[in-house]
Structure 1
Amino acid sequence: MHGPVMSGWLLMALCSATGAYCLLRTRGETGERRRTARAEALMGFGMAAMAVPAAVMTPPAWGWAVYAVLFGAASLRALWFSRRSSHHVHHLVGSAAMVYMAVAMAPGIGGAPGGHAGHGGSAPAGGIPVLTGLLLAYYAAYVLHSGARLIPVAATAGDVAGESAGGGWAARPELALACRLTMGIAMFAMLLTL
C-alpha cells in the first residue's frame, strides 16, 4: 500500500481487529448471518494483509496474484449468495474492489516492482481513474449510510442495561454495523492511496 508507514500500520491493526471480531461472530451465528460474518472476516484480514506498508515489507511478485485469485473466488461466492440477500451485493463490490486493487498494484501489470503503481508500470497510476472514482463514490455513500444507521435511537422495552435480546456482546447488531463501517472507511482509504 502507498502512503505514510504509520497510517498503513494503523489501517492494518484496525482491519485485523475488525476481521478478528467478525471471526468471533461466526461462533454465535447460524445460516445466513454466519456466512456474512465469514465473508466480513475474510475481507478484514485481506485488507489488513494488503495494508502492510510497502516500505516495511514488499510482498512477493506472486502475492498480488494470490490476492486476485482469493478475492475473485470470494466475488463469485458473493455473486451466488446475492440471490438470497442484498447485503451480499456489498460483499461482491468489496471483493471485486480487492481484486481490482491487487491487479492495479501487481508488478508488471498495474504497477512497478514492489506494488507501487505509477512508478514505471504499464497501467496508469491508481489503475483506471473512472473505476477508482466509482469505487470511491460507492464507499463514501456506504460509509455515510452506515454511519447514519449507528446514530442511537430510543431503547426498546426489551433492552436492559446494555444487553440486547440477541444475547452476548458478539451478537450485538450495532457492533457488526460498526465493523462494516470500519471496513468501509478502510476500503475508502486504501482506494485513495491506490
Structure 2
Amino acid sequence: MHGPVSAGWLLVALCAVTGGYCLLRMRSAVEEQRLAAGGEALMGFGMAAMAVPAATVAPPRWAWLAYAAVFGAAAVRALWSARAGAHHLHHLVGALAMVYMAAVMVASPGGRHGGAGPPLVTGVLLLYFAGYVLWAGVRLIPVPAGAGGAAAPAVGWGDRPELARACRLSMGIGMFAMLLTV
C-alpha cells in the first residue's frame, strides 16, 4: 500500500486483529460459522500482509504471484460454497478483489506498490465495497426488543453475530481503503 505510512500501519493492525478474531470464531459449535470464519481469517491476514506500507517492505514479484494463487484458490472455494448461501458470494468478490490487486502489483514496474489497474474494474469494486460497508453498518444498528421480549439465550463471545458483523464491516472498510490505492 502506498500513501501515508501511519494509515498503512493502522490498516495492517485492523486487518490483523480482525483475522485473529475470525480464527477464534473458528471454534464455534455452528459448522457454517466455522467455515465462514476460516475464509474471513484468511482474508483478514491476507489484507494485513498486502497493506504493509511500501516504504517499509517492498515484496518481491513472486510474493504478489503467491497472493494471486492463494486468493484464486479461495475464490474457487467460495464459488463452490456459494451454492449453499449468498454470503459466500461476498467471499467470492473479496477473493477476486485480492487477486485483482495482486495482479496489479505484478504488472506494475518492479512489482512495487502503486500500480494502476483498469479504472472500470477498480471503480466497480469500489462501488461494491462502499455499498457493502453501508449495508453492514446498518445491520449493526441495534433493534429494540419487543414489548414482551424474552431474554436472548446466552452465547459465547465467539458466537455473537454482532461481533461477526463488526469484523465483516471492518474488512469491508479495509478492502475499500486498499482499492483506493490501486
The reply to whether TM is greater than 0.5 is yes
- For residue 181 of structure 1, what is the aligned residue in structure 2? 169
Residue 74 of structure 1 corresponds to 74
Over the matched positions of the two proteins, sequence identity in percent amounts to 63
Shift of residue 75, structure 1, vs aligned partner: 0.1
How far, CA to CA, are the matches of 2:121 and 2:19 in structure 1? 26
Amino acid at match of 1:181: L
TM-score normalized by the length of structure 1: 0.89
Q: Aligned to 1:158, which of 136, 151, 163? A: 151
- Pair 55,82 (structure 1): closer, same or farther in 2 beyond 3 Å: same
Matched, 1:60 2:60: yes
Which structure has more RCO (C-alpha within 8 Å, separation ≥ 6)? 2
Distance 1:19 1:29 in 2: 19
Distance 1:96 1:12 in 2: 20
Q: Is the 8 A contact 2:58 2:113 kept in 1?
A: no
Q: Structure 1 residues 173, 69: CA separation in 2 closer, same or farther (over 3 Å shift)?
A: same
Which residue, 112, 133, 141 being the options, matches 1:143? Answer: 133
**Cα drift, residue 117 of structure 1:** 3.5
Dislocated runs of 4+, deviation >3 Å? none
Q: Please list every run of 5 or more consecutive structure 1 residues that lacks an aligned counterpart in the other structure.
A: 119-124, 160-164
CA contact (8 A) 1:166 1:172 kept: no
SS in 2 for 1:55: coil
State the distance in 2 between where 1:16 and 1:76 align. 23
Counterparts of 1:19 and 1:193, CA distance in 2: 21
Aligned AA for 2:123? G
Q: For residue 167 of structure 1, what is the aligned residue in structure 2?
A: 155
Would you tell me which structure has more helix in proportion to its own residues? Answer: 2
Q: What count of residue pairs does the alignment treat as equivalent?
A: 179
Gaps in structure 2 of 5+ consecutive residues: none
Identify which of 123, 136, 145 aligns with 1:133. Answer: 123
Within 5 A, what are the aligned runs for 1:1-194? 1-106=1-106, 109=107, 111-118=108-115, 125=116, 127-155=117-145, 156-159=149-152, 165=153, 167-194=155-182
Amino acid at match of 1:28: S
Whole-Å separation in 2 of the counterparts to 1:96 and 1:44: 14
Calculate the TM-score normalised by the size of structure 2.
0.95
CA distance in 2 between partners of 1:45 and 1:99 (Å): 14
Alpha-carbon distance in structure 1 between the residues aligned to 2:4 and 2:29: 37
Range moving further from structure 2, 13-22 or 25-34: 25-34
CA distance in 2, matches of 1:166, 1:54: 45
Q: Distance in 2 between matches of 1:95 and 1:48?
A: 14
Per-residue CA deviations over 1:33-61 (Å, capped at 9, x if unaligned) read 11100000000000000000010011112
- Deviation string 1:53-76 (CA, Å, 9 cap, x unpaired) is 010011112000000000000000
Residue 128 of structure 1 aligns with an amino acid whose one-letter code is: P
Question: Residues 150 and 55 (structure 1 numbering): CA distance in 2 closer, same or farther, change over 3 Å?
Answer: same
